[in-house]
Amino acid sequence: MSRTFEYAPAPESRAIVDIKPSYGLFVNGEFVDGTGTSFKTVNPATEEVLAEVAEASEADVDNAVRAARRAYDRVWSRMPGAERAKYLYRIARIIQERGRELAVLESIDNGKPIREARDVDVPTVAAHFFYYAGWADKLKYAGYGTTPLGVAGQVIPWNFPLLMLAWKIAPALACGNTVVLKPAETTPLTALLFAEICQQADLPPGVVNIVTGAGDTGRAIVSHPDVDKVAFTGSTEVGKAIARAVAGSQKRVTLELGGKAANIVFDDAPIDQAVEGIVNGIFFNQGHVCCAGSRLLVQESVADEVMARLKRRMATLRVGDPLDKNTDVGAINSAEQLAKIRELSEVGEAEGAERWSAPCDLPANGYWFAPTVFTGVSQAHRIAREEIFGPVLSVLTFRTPAEAVEKANNTPFGLSAGVWTDKGSRILSMANRLRAGVVWANTFNKFDPTSPFGGYKESGYGREGGRHGLEAYLKGADQ
């Protein structure tokens, strides 16, 4: 027996998921073949091919939009809110019942640790459906009218495949819209399992349509003339393209884009919890989080202490098999994303920032990047300005609250921010001055369906979650 306390592997069983060799599109309540060329989805932790997935062509997207329109006109928009709610409650309960299956599949397809898929993603997904189910028959009290928009075209990213699906579909359906949703090309499997759940819940055909594919499929959805509403979560670059594509049309748009959040630690912060918050802010989900606390702003007087504690803590992060219940940091989602993280990290070093990575053994196969921190970063460095979308933290220091605000706001983004201090009045004054959609106080990366989420500036517009999230799917009180 070893003399040290090593945790033996504790893998979650894959037996609960049944991955088919190939998947079609989910249109009008049925799985159909796509007419585009199919593509492969891989397990990023092993590079094993999981399944062939159909690519939706323009014609396939057209079929899906037609199905959604029919379902909207004939069934869903006419159905009383209380009846729509029953379907949403049913979906929420099935998600809970099949929670382990969804968590395991999400972990396999995305690379995120099972601990997070199980304890964060799936419970939050179910909570989102429960929450918006509750709104379905109470829309007239929300203040945005009760008239739905029609067919919503929704395009979601690969970082939280199922959670972003829930953020999009739950409010749309609660308000009486029907949807055509495209999951990201690297993570389509849980959306397709969700399609099965829609069947299991007897959701009327055409209310939810899932079309898989890459950029071309997404463009076909966004530019389809019969789509009334476009909702997108992803990169700022694509968000801008979408805004251009729909300009001049009647389509409503909400965009939830990139971020470069400042996580601000004052010298009176609860320091052990602040270190946990920094770790959670940037290493949660391998840093594949649009609201990640990727810029640490730490007050100069405690900078050395915070960095020493942070590095000690980072050395205990367990990087590896996402399905092991003890894994803290999983695999990078794709080779492409890994290349981008590597490139920006090299730029960080070349620009003179000091790089430190947690000592850890990375698996030989798959896409991996050790948790990394850059110190001596200045506002001018690319790693302080561009979204890396990986487990890479840039550390800057400040001396006064005014300097912290100035640095935090000096970015084209404005999605989230964190403030760590024991002083309540400072939390409030910082929250007022930070130009970010969400400001977390003495915590980070907390998500709740009742709380609106969304950005300033290049982080997008529109809010998801809470009562505010209904606005994106209703015509308004005066319509």
* 207/254 Cα distance (integer angstroms): 20
Q: What are phi and psi of 455, to 5 degrees?
A: -115, 170
Nearer to other proteins, 325 or 342 (CB): 325
* Least distance between other proteins and beta carbon 459 (Å): 26
Nearer to other proteins, 325 or 340 (CB): 325
Closest C-alpha among 184, 129, 181 to residue 151 = 181
* Least distance between other proteins and beta carbon 327 (Å): 10
Nearer to other proteins, 216 or 305 (CB): 305
Q: Which residues contact 161 (CB under 8 A, 6 or more apart)?
A: 106, 109, 110, 183, 184, 187, 188, 189, 190, 191
* Least distance between other proteins and beta carbon 423 (Å): 10
Amino acid at 253: V
Nearer to other proteins, 325 or 355 (CB): 325
- Residues interacting with other proteins, by CB under 8 A? 1-2, 4-10, 115, 119, 268-273, 276-277, 316, 325-326, 422, 442-443
Cβ distance 155 to 168 under 8 Å? no
Nearer to other proteins, 10 or 82 (CB): 10
* Least distance between other proteins and beta carbon 403 (Å): 22
Q: How many Cβ atoms sit within 10 Å of the Cβ of residue 16? A: 13
CA 298 vs CA 1, 233, 444: distances in Å: 43, 30, 15
Cβ distance 463 to 469 under 8 Å? yes
Nearer to other proteins, 443 or 451 (CB): 443
Choice among 55, 106, 116, 256 that is catalytic: 256
DSSP state of 329: B
User: Is 343 a catalytic site residue?
Assistant: no
Q: Which residues of 49-62 are buried (b: 16+ CB within 10 A; e: fewer)?
A: ebbebbbbbbebbb
Q: What are phi and psi of 200, to 5 degrees?
A: -60, -35
User: Is 30 a catalytic site residue?
Assistant: no
Choice among 106, 116, 175, 290 that is catalytic: 290
* Least distance between other proteins and beta carbon 14 (Å): 16
3-state secondary structure of 430: helix
Chain centroid to CA 94: how far?
22
* Least distance between other proteins and beta carbon 67 (Å): 42
* 321/323 Cα distance (integer angstroms): 5
Nearer to other proteins, 1 or 364 (CB): 1
* 153/65 Cα distance (integer angstroms): 8
* CA dihedral sign, ordered 145, 150, 152, 153: negative
3-state secondary structure of 213: coil
* Least distance between other proteins and beta carbon 324 (Å): 8
List the catalytic residues.
256, 290
